[in-house]
Structure formats: C-alpha cells, structure tokens
Amino acid sequence: MKFTKIKTACAAIALMFGLAGNSALAADLRVGVEGAYPPFSWKEADGTLKGFDIEIAEAVCKELERKCVLIEQDWDGMIPALKARKFDTIIASMSITEERKKQIDFSDKYYNTPAKFVAKKGSGLEISKVGLKGKRIGLQRGTTHQCFMEKIYPDAELVLYGTQEEVFQDLAIGRIDAQFSDSIAADDGFLKTDAGKDFEFTGGDQHDEACHGPGAGMAVRKSDTELRDDLNRAIKAMRADGTYQKINAKYFEFDIFGG
Amino acid sequence: MNLIIEYQAQLLSGTWVTIRLALMSLVIAVMFGLLGAWAKLSKNFVAQKTAAAYTTIVRGVPDLVLILLVFYGGQQMVNSFGGMTGLWDYVEISQFAAGAGTIGVVFGGYMTETFRGAIIAIPRGQIEAGVACGMDRFTIFHRVIWPQMVRYALPGFSNNWLVQIKSTALVSVIGLQDVVYNGFVAGRSTRQLFTFMFAVLMIYLVLTAISDLGLRWLDRKYSKGVVRTDHG
C-alpha cells in the first residue's frame, strides 16, 4: 500500500498549496444504494440497509481500504445524483447499457442474472418464434427485456407495465399468457410467493448481448477513471479470494456472476 | 397490520419530515405570496413586471421539474462554478432546503394570486375612509386590510395549503425521506406495497383533517361579526 501513501502525501502537498483536492483521493467512498429492490437491497424495520448490493458495496470498500458511506437514493434520481457528486459510485443492480453509457461510466459487471419466461404450470407454452406468435407477454416497460422481446420475438403481443409488481399481478389473474423478466426478480418476487405457486419458469435462459448488455455494473462519473479501475480491481479480488462467493451463497442458490 | 407496527418508526420519522417540510414551505409561500401580492398591486413598474414574471413561471412549470432542477441542476451549477473559479471544491445543497425552498417558492405563486384577489375584494372606500381618519399606512394595513384580507383569502388559502401538503410527496424523488419515500421503501422491502401505501394514505388524511379543523377555527375567528347571507 505504498502507492496509497504516496497519493495521500501528494494530496496533502496539493492541499498545502491551496489546490482543490481531487475527490478520488478522499478517504470515504460514498456509495449510492437503493434500498427497495429485494433481495439485492432492502430496508429493515430498524432502518438498516440489507441485501446483496449492500454487502458487495461494503466488501468493495474493504478491498479498497476506504470507509464506506452508504447514501440512500430513489431509483429515478440515481444518475442525476451521481453526476451532481452526491456520491461517487452507484452499486444498485444497475444494468450496463449503451443508453446509460452516454451519461456515465461503468465498472465491469459484478453480476449477470439470466432473463426467463414465467407461465402457468403445464401451459405447454413453447418459447420460439412460432410458439409465441400472438401470445400476450407481460413485461416492465423501458427495460432491457422490452428491447429483447421486440428484437427476438416481434410476433408476440407485448403488454407493458410500469412496475414489475403489476406484471406479476396480471399474470396471476390470467390477463397475460406469460411474463418475461429477470429470473431472480421473478423467483423471489413471484414464484416463491403464494400468488405464484401455480407458475413456473419455462424455456430456459434468454440472452441477447445487444439488448441485455454484460450485466449489472457499478456506475461512476465519466471523469472518474481512477475509481473505475479501482472498482474493477476490487471485483476481481473479491472473485479470487472467495469473498464474493460467500456473499453470493447467503442470497442465491447459484453463482449469479454469470459466464 | 403487524408489518406497519414493525415499521412504525420509519413511518413516524417520515411523517415528521413531511410535517416539517409542509410548515417550512408554508412560511416561505406566505412570505412570497404577500410580497408578490404587494408587488402586483403596487404602482412601481419594475415590481409589477417582476411579480408577473414570477407567477407566470412558477405556476406554469410542473413542481417536480423545478425540484429536480434546483436540487441536481443547482448543485451541478454551484459546483462547476466553484471548480472554475477555484473558490470551493464541493458544496452540498441539502435535500430539505431544496425541497422546502422549491415548494415554498412555487406555492408562493399561488398565494400571490389568492392574496391579491382578497385585497382587491376589500372596498376601496374603506381604505379611503382610513386615510380620511388620519391612519398611517401600517395602521390601515393592520386594522382595515389584514383582518378582511384573511377572511377573503381563507378559502383559496385552504385549497393551496391542502394541495401543498400533498405536494411535499414530490421530494421523495430527491431522496428526502418523507412519509411517501419511507412507506415506499418499507413496502418494497417487505413486498407489501399496498399495505404501506394504505398506511401513507391514512397518514395524509389525518394531516389534512387536522389542517381542516385549524382552518375552520381561523375562518370563525376572522368572520366574527359577519352575517352570512348566502345560505339563508
């Protein structure tokens, strides 16, 4: 950690000469998190934040030997807050997409869960161009999944919803033939609940690189290349020393890092 | 129900933020409203035009857009100015200040119109009578204009206030942990969104019901000696 010491010394000298300190040299790493997306992040009754993203954030800080300051932020204001320097990075299951890359920069992926269809048990729904033709498929609008369906299965009839909860509700009522979403979200949010007991995954993993992208990454401001490299280093180190796998095992039955 | 009891600390702290935010923005709104009404009715050309521009802009732009603009845009502007001039590196605009300030200034626009209408409703002759009696301007405002203005303004004011309480919900977008934000997070965390949204709904109803009682008391107080003829 000699390098850190040199950097700190440089920062101290810079400060002595009245130069503005670079935020990347600051000791605290301010992380924007969501707290409303279980099992990745949620809030306990006593107000503490829990979940996969939260533990990953803490592990990253430990790896980088910086103090973690978790800052809760509503999803809609996440990117503006990063740009306004309310925090330095976003660790909140944010998918790396070309659209977002126009505004901000991403680390390498830290997880990539497959997308899957969910339909009624024994529905016999065939996941193919012919099988989905004219079928009503529910999904959350503005997501990577909408991009996928429009590109790969253009003949299916898409029913778009504002939130994932609404999709599950209409699937349970029977207004749609199937739904398409992230497999973890569907498993935890629907299949494992009472409302989802008559439903199942069907058709296996679906993936399209152009639509789904490489997975979820940690977001940084475009100018913060140093922090981005630090985060990439931390992700690699966590994968190598087993920290990641330990956290993963607490929440999921399989390795969500993906291939 | 058990979940609500479990998360009651979150809901209560959120409610407290909502109440403080509503009261703080009300103070700002009334100040801007009085100032705006005065400016609109003054003979000063600059004051008139400034007030006209103010009410046109804040009443014409969605509150949400203004809040986002002040909180994110304002901070980016302040910080890039600091960075350019080298005066400071990072300044944080507090969520509470941005929220209360924006909502206060926006509703100040509505209050301006409410107060202006109420002042106009006072017969001109009464003010002239005050002048004739040798009252100075403060005495005329204090004894003639204010008591009647309050009475005329109360119905419009009550409307503004009720809308304003509910508008505080917009601040959850900038991450201020008001009752909507905390209710939403608790709902998503427990996967019982409707339970918590219902609780939030009840909390707002209680807040507005209490306001209603207070406003009715004010109405009685300022209507003393006035005979209502409109409903027989």
**Torsion of the alpha carbons at A231, A237, A238 and A241, rounded to the nearest 10:** -170
Q: Is A67 helix (H, G, I), strand (E, B) or coil?
A: strand
Query: Please, what is the average pLDDT of chain A?
Result: 88
pLDDT, average across residues B10-27: 96
Nearest to A36 among B71, B174, B188 (CB): B188
Residue B230 lies in a domain: no
ipTM score of the complex? 0.72
pLDDT per position as a tens digit, B111-138: 999 999 999 999 999 999 999 999 998 9
What domain range includes position B49? 2-222
Distance from CA of A121 to the nearest CA of B (A): 23
Q: How far apart are the first and last CA of chain B?
A: 47
More confident residue, B97 or A21: B97
Q: Do B10 and A72 touch (CB under 8 A)?
A: no
Residue B109 lies in a domain: yes
Phi, psi of A178 (to 5 degrees): -160, 170
Which pair of structure tokens corresponds to residue B153?
A: 């303004």
Residue B232 lies in a domain: no
Phi, psi of A160 (to 5 degrees): -100, 140
pLDDT, average across residues B195-217: 95
Nearest to B10 among A45, A74, A193 (CB): A45
CA distance B141 to B150: 12
Nearest to A85 among B79, B190, B193 (CB): B79
Q: Do A36 and B79 touch (CB under 8 A)?
A: no
Report DSSP state, residue A37: B
Residue B177 lies in a domain: yes
Best CA proximity match to B202, nearest among B2, B4, B24, B58: B4
Handedness of CA A153, A158, A161, A164 (dihedral sign): negative
- Sequence-distant (6+) residues with CB within 8 A of A76 are B173
8 Å CB contact between A115 and A145: yes
Candidates B172, B188, B196: best to mutate against A (most CBs of A within 10 A) is: B188
pLDDT, average across residues A120-141: 93
Q: What is the pLDDT of residue A193?
A: 86
Residue B138 lies in a domain: yes
pLDDT per position as a tens digit, A158-208: 999 877 878 998 999 999 999 999 999 899 889 988 889 999 999 989 988
Q: Is A165 helix (H, G, I), strand (E, B) or coil?
A: helix
pLDDT of A12 higher than 80: no
Q: What is the CATH number of the domain that holds B180?
A: 1.10.3720.10
- CB count within 10 Å of CB B136 equals 10
Domains of chain A, first to last: 2-112+214-251 (3.40.190.10), 115-212 (3.40.190.10)
B110, amino acid identity: Y
For chain A, the residues whose C-beta falls within 8 A of a C-beta of chain B are 20-21, 23, 35-38, 42-47, 71-74, 76-77, 80-81, 83-86, 165, 189, 193
Pick from A247-256, B28-37, B181-190 the range whose average pLDDT is largest.
B28-37
CA distance A79 to B195: 29
CA distance A206 to B227: 74
Candidates A85, A161, A164: best to mutate against B (most CBs of B within 10 A) is: A85
CA distance A209 to A108: 15
Residues of B in contact with A38 (CB under 8 A): 188-189, 191
Residue B231 lies in a domain: no
Category of A48 on φ-ψ map: left (φ > 0), alpha (ψ -120 to 50) or beta: beta
CA distance B89 to B83: 6
Q: What is the pLDDT of residue A10?
A: 47
Q: How many domains does chain B have?
A: 1
Q: Is A89 helix (H, G, I), strand (E, B) or coil?
A: strand
CA distance A43 to B229: 56
- Sequence-distant (6+) residues with CB within 8 A of B214 are none
Looking at chain A, which residue has its C-alpha nearest residue B73? A84
Q: Do B75 and A85 touch (CB under 8 A)?
A: yes
8 Å CB contact between A80 and B68: yes
Phi, psi of B187 (to 5 degrees): -65, -45
Residue B85 lies in a domain: yes
CA distance A150 to A239: 35
Looking at chain A, which residue has its C-alpha nearest residue B72? A84
Give CA B94 to chain center in angstroms. 19
| pLDDT tier at A8, thresholds 50, 70, 90 | low
Q: What is the pLDDT of residue A123?
A: 92
Residue B227 lies in a domain: no
- Sequence-distant (6+) residues with CB within 8 A of A163 are A140
- Sequence-distant (6+) residues with CB within 8 A of B56 are none
